[in-house]
Amino acid sequence: MKKSILFAIISISFFACTKETIQPTAIGSNASGESLRFSQPRVEFKVSDPYTIYLSQGLNTLQSDSFYVENDTSFISSFLYVISGHPNLSNFKFYLNGGQLNATITYFNDTIVVSARRKLKLAPGSYSYILQAKTTGNSGTEFSTALNSAIIVDRQGFMAEILNLPSVGNSMIIR
């Protein structure tokens, strides 16, 4: 009787241990990446209808719009604009919420790249941005600008989720 009770206890313990090792343990949220998805910054751009802008010779706004940061702090790295047409553009300025961004702005062929000299911290909330340039050229010259790419990263340097990038821009005509 003692042997059968001892055998039963050992068998139950063995099966309990076996059951424990066969059953998969719950995957922690860090291992599955779920917590990263919930805290990943999300940047949503406002989508405006494109329209025609008549520009004078001199400093003009090429694009102005807004975006919203959600979930966590993020950092601006760069914005890339694509230009169609052949305008004469120079003296670029980029503003974020009314303040000029300390950035290197390059213009080559059909591309304008706005690169922040150092990462600019964006707390969750709404932001407006403006790209300006001095325009010169013949009257009637037409071109358009479109924000093609925005590199905005989280604290670890991973890309934020970017939504509604305004790939269609305004048409501009120099007077």
Report pLDDT digits (tens) over 62-102: 999 899 999 889 999 999 999 998 889 999 999 999 999 99
Measured distance CA(35)–CA(25) in Å, rounded: 18
pLDDT for residue 5: 54
Provide the mean pLDDT of the chain. 80
Burial status of residue 52 (CB atoms within 10 A of its CB: 0-12, 13-18, 19 or more): exposed
CB contact set of 54 (below 8 Å; sequence gap of 6+): 172, 173, 174, 175
**Residues of the chain predicted below pLDDT 50:** 6, 13-37
- Fold exhibited by the domain 43-174: Immunoglobulin-like (2.60.40)
Q: What is the pTM of this model?
A: 0.73
**Residue 30 confidence (pLDDT):** 38
Residues 6+ positions from 34 with CB-CB distance below 8 Å: none
Residue of 89, 79, 77, 67 whose CA lies nearest to 141: 89
Could you state, in order of their start, the residue ranges of all structural domains in the chain? Answer: 2-37, 43-174
**Quick check: 78 and 151 in contact, CB under 8 A?**
yes
